[in-house]
Amino acid sequence: MDKIVITGGRRLNGDVVLSGSKNSALPIMAAALLAEDTTVISNVPNLRDIQTMIKLLRALGAKASFEDGRVVIKPGKELNPVAPYKLVSTMRASVCVLGPLLARTGHAQVSMPGGCVIGARPIDLHLKGFEALGARIKVEHGYVVARAQKFLRGSEMYLGGAFGSSVLATGNVMMAAVLARGKTIIESAACEPEVVDLANFLKKMGAKISGEGSPRIEIEGVKKLHGIEYAIVSDRIECGTYMFAAAMTGGDVMIKQALPSNQNAVIDKLLQSGVRIDKGKNFLRIRGRARLKPTDVTTLPYPGFPTDMQAQMMALMAITPGISVITEKIYPDRFMHVSELNRMGAKIYLESPRAIIHGVKRLSGAPVMASDLRASAALVLAGLVAEGKTEVYRVYHLDRGYFNMEGKLSSLGAVIKRERE
Ligand code: UD1
């Protein structure tokens, strides 16, 4: 197993180029199943989750390959509708093959994804949406078994849950509805940029969708979709993570391929923290200040502050003088990084779903354990500013979502390397 070793204290300077968005690429790869002919997707990041999706598509009977950031998928006429436990259990986003399989074959059998360390992650909203389209759903032997009678029928549905909208449920239902008979209206749809990217992809395939990016999406079912070429948008969470790396180290970093209009909540919080930001159509320049100012953050569905940036925000607050508060409204238990940051000298008190952060003058490097994807990123950020050496173990979490993070940070001047344990 690999670990990341960082010697803290370097100011980051220079340019970094973002990779394609993992959270856009995964449902879009699943959506390629909706056509029989070949789809080519470019700007796909070389990550473990992408490899898992390739394996899953192959298990479903599609031809799928990945080379140089290009995924080529040829689903063919016949699909096998069973998504096995072994693959689904390693990646929750596997659940988004349910919608395309149901739409193409009228039958889908997908292992229940189960919980994960960031808390309970139900799929009731996905299932509610499929039922609204006329599918019958059973849970048998740990699998969701969904069947359409003859075909799916468009309908009007409300997809809001206890914590608001769901990104993958919106995408999943949208993918099922594009081939349904008649019109579907999804109310309380997720507005995340990844939903918009998926809608753009589906529209290019021939789907009729409007309202994506708003809480009301309308879909007019069509008979058939066709394979296309498509480029994935850049990763806004990777972007936010490098924004924080620059801000925390007092650096000056130009982030290329950024889409600032997707980052307003993060930009707003960094401006409140006293960070200087210049932006253009597809770049962000971040200049950190010697002294940061405390802020309060609540995670919310888009356009609110993303839960996927919460751990990184906490790392920044940990070294910001004064008291900052984070309220986690999407995953109330997503605080595994608190104890590890505290091992590095942070003073963070947990009263879930709230964390109270007393900023300290300095963190001290320590061996720490990554618990999940974004928590790992927070530990790397903390390592960049900590005194001495930080070793981040279990970096396979990091590898699920960040392409070559140690390479990108070291090109900005960080002292960071990957080692075999
Ligand atoms: C996606 C992202 C993940 C991000 C999350 C929230 C991908 C691959 N993953 O996950 O990185 O952290 O959005 O921005 O895109 N919920 C229900 N019932 C459901 C589904 C969700 O109650 O059927 C709840 C969840 O428990 C959570 C909230 O809704 O509290 C949001 O989850 P959701 O948007 O579904 O997350 P994902 O789409 O799985």
Distance, in Å, from the CA atom of 337 to the CA atom of 340, rounded to the nearest integer, reads 5
| Ligand 1 contact, 122 CB (< 6 A) | yes
Contact 81/127 with Cβ under 8 angstroms? no
Give the ligand 1 atom nearest the CA of 192. 14
Query: Active-site positions?
Result: 116
Residue type, 237: I
Which of 270, 264, 268, 281 is CA-nearest to residue 246? 270
Q: Which of 415, 248, 388, 246 is nearest to 318 (CA)?
A: 248
Q: Which residues of 122-134 are buried (b: 16+ CB within 10 A; e: fewer)?
A: ebebbbbbbebbb
Whole-number Cα distances in Å, 97 to 170, 291, 363, 416? 13, 47, 43, 37
pLDDT of residue 289: 83
Place of tokens 């990550």: 47
Question: Cβ(184) to ligand 1 under 6 A?
Answer: no
Closest-CA residue, ligand 1 atom 15, reads 23
Beta carbon of 47 within 6 Å of any ligand 1 atom? no
Ligand 1 pocket residue status of 307, Cβ below 6 Å: yes
Q: In a mutational test of the pocket of ligand 1, which residue from 167, 174, 300 has the highest number of ligand atoms less than 8 Å from its CB?
A: 167
Whether ligand 1 lies within 6 angstroms of the CB of 123 is answered as yes
Q: What is the pLDDT of residue 114?
A: 60
pLDDT at position 350, please? 96
Cβ neighbour number for residue 369 with a 10 Å cutoff: 18
Task: Transcribe 224-275 into DSSP letters.
Answer: -----EEEPPB-HHHHHHHHHHHHHTT-EEEEET--GGG-HHHHHHHHHTT-
Instruction: Ligand 1 pocket test: pick from 330, 334, 352 the residue with the most ligand atoms within 8 Å of its Cβ.
Output: 330
Nearest 5°: phi and psi at 336? -60, -25
Between the CA of 387 and the centroid of ligand 1 the distance, in Å, is: 36
Ligand 1 near 195 CB (within 6 A): no
Closest-lying ligand 1 atom to the alpha carbon of residue 332: 30
Which of 182, 187, 200, 179 has the alpha carbon at shortest distance from 128? Answer: 187
pLDDT of the residue at 117: 61
23 Cβ below 6 A of ligand 1: yes
**From CA 185, how far away is CA 217, in angstroms rounded?**
6
Query: Which atom of ligand 1 lies closest to the CA of 308?
Result: 12
Mean pLDDT, 10 residues at a time, the chain of 421 residues: 95 98 97 98 96 96 96 95 91 94 95 67 91 95 91 96 91 98 98 98 98 98 97 98 98 98 97 96 93 96 97 98 97 94 98 96 96 95 98 93 96 96 79
Question: What DSSP string runs through 118-155?
Answer: TB----HHHHHHHHHTT-EEEEETTEEEEE-SSS-B--
State the pLDDT at residue 52. 94
The CA 244 to ligand 1 mean position distance, Å, reads 23
Would you give the end-to-end CA distance of the chain in angstroms? Answer: 6
| pLDDT (0 to 100) of residue 308 | 97
Distance in angstroms (rounded) separating the CA atoms of residues 391 and 368: 6
Atom of ligand 1 nearest to the CA of 123: 23
Q: Whose CA is nearest to atom 25 of ligand 1?
A: 121
Distance CA 184, CA 321 (A): 50
Ligand 1 centre from 368 Cα, in Å? 27
Q: Which atom of ligand 1 is nearest to the CA of 26?
A: 8
Pocket flag, ligand 1, residue 237 (CB < 6 Å): no
